[in-house]
Amino acid sequence: EVQLLESGGALVQPGGSLRLPCEASGFTFSSYAMSWVRQAPGKGLEWVAVISDSGGSTYTADSVRGRFTISRDNSKNTVYLQMKTLRAEDSAVYFCAKSDIIGPGITWHFDVWGRGTLVTVSS
Amino acid sequence: IVLTQSPDFQSVTPKEQVTITCRASQPIGNRLHWYQQKADQSPKLLIRYASQSISGVPSRFSGSGSGTDFTLTINTLEAEDAATYYCHQTSSLPLTFGGGTKVEI
């Protein structure tokens, strides 16, 4: 069974940092691009970042560029979201999502989502 | 690319047909996908590339459109279809989602 399991969510103070791992299983992780998508409480979906299958290409949303970094370790079947200089508006459930298309490229939709991990930024 | 969904909210009764529209701020070909998100769950892929069905998704869900105007149709609505529906474009970066349409039964 294809599964994604996010972890690392926590209550953090404004200006703080956090790293979210997402561990994948049930598929050839190194063959698929991966993304992070967030959802603030009661709000819609916001795409955050994507990384290619090899890790050679990444792209982040304007709202987090310079503060968030996406990376992956294909030997550990894990994708990460490193978050720095956190703001109250970064409070959200963070989902990792698997691209539906195998191979290179980063502009793909998502066929599998994790259950999400909650990040709360507050003093 | 901005995706504008309408309506924001729709209250319907079982067996009705529901139509949700998604308009893109510029042409995106068929790079438009639909997701269903039920309360306290993660999103689920319903339709890909505007009209392609997904294995395991009931046939009452269908999509159409190309360019800038797209539609998700739910025929013969069932109680389990209560959810928020999102469109999503993958034509260009940054990837974007529509604002969502909440369907209440």
Q: Can you give the pLDDT of all 105 residues of chain B as single tens digits? A: 999 999 999 999 999 999 999 999 999 999 999 999 999 999 999 999 999 999 999 999 999 999 999 999 999 999 999 999 999 999 999 999 999 999 999
Give the residue among B25, B34, B97, B56 at the shortest CA–CA distance from A35: B97
Distance from CA of B94 to the nearest CA of A (A): 6
The 3-state DSSP class for residue A73 equals: strand
Query: What does the pLDDT look like over A46-97, one tens digit per residue?
Result: 999 999 999 999 999 999 999 999 999 999 999 999 999 999 999 999 999 9
Residue A31 CB contacts under 8 Å (≥ 6 apart), including other chains: A53, A102, A103
B102 at A interface, C-beta within 8 A:
no
A107:B86 CB<8 A: no
Distance from CA of B79 to the nearest CA of A (A): 22
Instruction: Note whether B94 contacts A62, CB cutoff 8 Å.
Output: yes
Instruction: Please report, in angstroms and rounded to a whole number, the separation of the first and last CA atoms in chain A.
Output: 40
Q: Do A47 and B31 touch (CB under 8 A)?
A: no
